[in-house]
Amino acid sequence: MKPFLYSIIAAATLGGAWAADPVVWPDRIVRGANVSVRISEDDLLHYKTQWRGYAVRILVNSITEETPPFAVSEKKKAQVFQALDLCLKHDMVTVFSPSASFGNNDKFFSNEEWLAAFKEFWREVAARYKDKGPIVYDLINEPWGGEARKRWNGYARELTAAIREIDRRHTIMVVPPEWGWANGFRYLEPTGDGNTVYSFHFYGPMDFTHQRNKGHMKTTEEQWRERVYPGFLQGEQWDKERMRKEIALVTAWRDKHGVRMWCGEFGTARWAQGADRWFTDWVDALEEQKIGWAHYEYRGWQPMDMEMDPASREATPRLETYFFKLCRYYFARTD
């Protein structure tokens, strides 16, 4: 852990001013973590008491069947609702982010029956949670592909209208196409709903964060050691200034439309050379613009499990790492 954090963490206190309506997005910087739908109560209690966490994003990709009638199975619904109920039980600001078909976006966005089935699932979610705690409806995780660029604006408005017929209180969240990256805001239009937060994701540069070599996490020892942040990566210099340029795309769209913004996903392989600096630079750049965030991820995918040993590419016992202590400090802030 970096020495400067010790005194700051010791001085931090938990608390803060939340929105007057506890199911509406809080009037503060919301900081949290992505969690798996398999999150256990023990893990959640550890996150709440040791990390001082108060916000989670539950991501479920390819939630529907990919053949007619494109339903969400009762088994999958039970798993999802159990996770949502658990997080709400512990007063988490709980962002629920499903996708109908993560791998077949063009097929999904081209199929009216599939689009209707996914909309019906959102109606069911809204009916179940309309009178419950602070759940946030993140309409689709990372829409991508040509059909998404053409249809996402209209479909986001359709999903919003379907939810608002049932639940007018809870916050809705919308990400741009292009996998949710900031450059996708050039294709996005606001839905017109006043209680919507807009979100984006960041994993740049992917060769560093995902250690790519003919697929994810396939770097050789030589490649791994040579990819250092800050440094020249994927044909350009990557440092905090480059990250600020990414965020400038977001803030320009935010300020133009007068909306609220959140970074719903970001992360890097914990063993990447300079991962601690990458993580700190990105969080600091977000905080400069008063943008909240949820890192990827808490006790999920082991390459980005920030409690595991950053010096190892294998699963390890969990530790109080630098990343844990940094998040704990930020989660305790009240701004």
pLDDT tens for each residue of 193-225: 999 999 999 999 999 999 998 777 888 888 888
Q: Give the pLDDT of residue 222.
A: 86
Q: Which residues contact 261 (CB under 8 A, 6 or more apart)?
A: 197, 198, 199, 200, 250, 251, 254, 291
Give percent helix, percent strand, percent coil of the chain, each to the nearest 5: 40, 15, 45
Give the pTM: 0.93
The mean pLDDT of 236-263, rounded to a whole number, is 98
The mean pLDDT of 167-185, rounded to a whole number, is 97
Domain housing 110: 4-331
Q: Give the pLDDT of residue 16.
A: 39
95, 8, 1, 7: which is closest to 330 by C-alpha?
8
The enclosing domain of 114 has a CATH number of: 3.20.20.80
| % pLDDT > 70, the chain | 94
Domain total of the chain:
1
Q: Give the pLDDT of residue 7.
A: 26
CA dist 213 → 1, 43, 204, 205 (Å) = 30, 32, 15, 13
Please say whether the beta carbons of 230 and 237 come within 8 A. yes
Q: Give the pLDDT of residue 19.
A: 56
pLDDT tens for each residue of 272-312: 999 999 999 999 999 999 999 999 999 999 999 999 999 89
49, 56, 57: which is closest to 14 by C-alpha?
49
